[in-house]
Amino acid sequence: MSAERALSLKAMERFERPRNYGPLDQWDGHARITGPCGDTMEFWLKVSDRRIAQATFITDGCGPSRAAGSMATELATGKLVKEALQIQQKDVLQALGGLPQESEHCALLAANTLKAAIRDCQERKQTNDRCSECASAECYSKQRREDESEQEYQDRQALTQRMCRIGYKLLVMSGKGGVGKSTVAANLAITLALAGKQVGLLDVDIHGPSIPKLMGLDDGRAVAHDGELVPIEVGGNLKVISIAFFLASNRDAVIWRGPMKYNAIRQFLKDVAWGPLDYLVIDSPPGTGDEPLSVAQMIGQPAGAVLVTTPQDLAISDVRRSVSFCEKVSLPVVGIIENMSGLTCPHCGGRIDLFKTGGGEALAREMGVAHLGRIPIDPQIVVCGDDGIPYVHRFAESPAAQAFAEIVERITAAHQSQLQSSPSEGDTA
């Protein structure tokens, strides 16, 4: 029996004529999530007197996706926000009278997108708790500097307030290209999100953005609302922004000099509706040029750099420069990750060190920084990257995914240690 014929009467009705379909012109909450199946769903919410007065959606998915999105909006409309936040996949399936087993993921995507839109609404309305907690340290300066204009002062205020709501900023760097830095950044962000953290993933590789491809967001486009840029949401607690979301085509080249790149990065940090985040992972281009320098100057504290290398001497010598860069801009080095560290033979199970091994650990000892871990070579990392499927989602039990999980544990421990040893020190942006 086909998926369409297996649908209940109620599901079939919403399959053919979905209710609440289309965006809202004025809304209080918004979310856009692309599921592992490749379907993208987008929700808009209007809230009045703590109840969801109106909920709408769109999807590029199949009939079951339209049915699930329609039913999720119907279930949410009229409910208190806190009640709507409890709507789950099983509630959508039950209200529809079920979906074919191969389409049940559509109900999960609808429930997750609804929750993400509700969280977005709550974030927009709540006061800046993080800033309130550090009010004694004055998380942003109340005095205009002598060398800045009124507009520069207002921009600095907005930037510092935005960064103040982010628990920890992680700048992922590499001394040279080809070491898998963007793959590491993307999978670190996903691993943090899978651990229940609220995470942002910012791609500041202006000339060669890779994050959209790795995350399956090649067709993603940025949305503006009330003077803010709305990031694309993945999985409910991961927000992504990239220069690629502003280009008409993925063939377009960005031909900018330093000042243009600085202004774009400042806008990504200042104007994107990140909301409260536990972590902001920032993927920078190779080297120590305009992009990492701009980020380091603007993100404030607490923050740190994660340096990615491969084991061979050529890559390691460039990472030394990255460590020196971090010292000069007062950005703490969280540690070094050795990527592409050995391959397990699929035939005999033996280990093959294609690019040597242990170089990252030796460099960490030499430079007096932490060695966060080694990520082994797995051909599926390449396949997942090309297909736009996050590797740690698809192969959660693999040695490489386990390595990412252990690295994230060390990063979170380093974050807590930095918080305890380095209290906030006023205006840091």
Lookup: tokens for 342: 């050995």
Rounded to an integer, what distance in angstroms lies between the CA atom of residue 163 and that of residue 155?
12
Predicted TM-score (pTM) of this structure? 0.69
pLDDT of residue 136: 39
Q: What burial letters (b/e) apply to 370-390, b meaning 16+ CB within 10 Å?
A: bbbbbbbbbeebeebbeebbb
Q: Quote the CATH superfamily of domain 151-421.
A: P-loop containing nucleotide triphosphate hydrolases (3.40.50.300)
Verify whether residue 37 is a known catalytic residue: yes
Residue 315 CA, chain-centre distance (Å), reads 27
Tell the residue number behind the tokens 């001497």, with chain if given.
313
Separation in Å, CA 228 to CA 30, 223, 231, 242, 282: 12, 8, 9, 15, 19
Structure tokens at 152: 């520069």
pLDDT at 135: 42
Domain range list for the chain? 18-125, 151-421
The question of whether 106 is a catalytic residue gets the answer yes
**Tens-of-pLDDT digits for all 429 residues of the chain?**
344 445 566 667 777 788 899 999 889 888 888 876 778 899 999 999 989 999 999 998 888 899 999 999 999 999 999 999 999 999 999 998 888 888 888 999 999 999 988 988 886 765 344 444 544 344 545 567 777 788 888 888 889 888 988 989 999 999 888 888 999 999 999 999 888 788 999 999 999 899 999 999 988 888 888 888 999 988 778 999 999 999 887 788 888 888 899 999 999 999 999 988 989 999 999 988 889 999 999 999 889 999 999 887 777 888 888 999 999 999 999 999 998 887 766 666 666 676 667 778 888 888 899 999 999 888 888 888 888 888 887 888 888 889 999 999 999 888 877 766 654 443 433
Report the DSSP pairing between strands 199-203 and 238-242.
parallel
Task: Annotate 335-368 with DSSP letters as a single string.
Answer: EEEEEEEEEE-TTT--EE-BTBSSHHHHHHHHHT
Please give the CATH number for the structural domain made up of 18-125. Answer: 3.90.1010.10
**Helix H or strand E encompassing 390:** none
One of 62, 106, 131, 348 is an active-site residue; which one? 106
| pLDDT for residue 344 | 67
* Cα maximum dimension of the chain: 74
Active-site option among 37, 62, 131, 134: 37
| Residue that has been written with the tokens 């002062």 in this structure | 153
Q: What is the dihedral of CA 222, 225, 228, 233, to 10 degrees?
A: -50
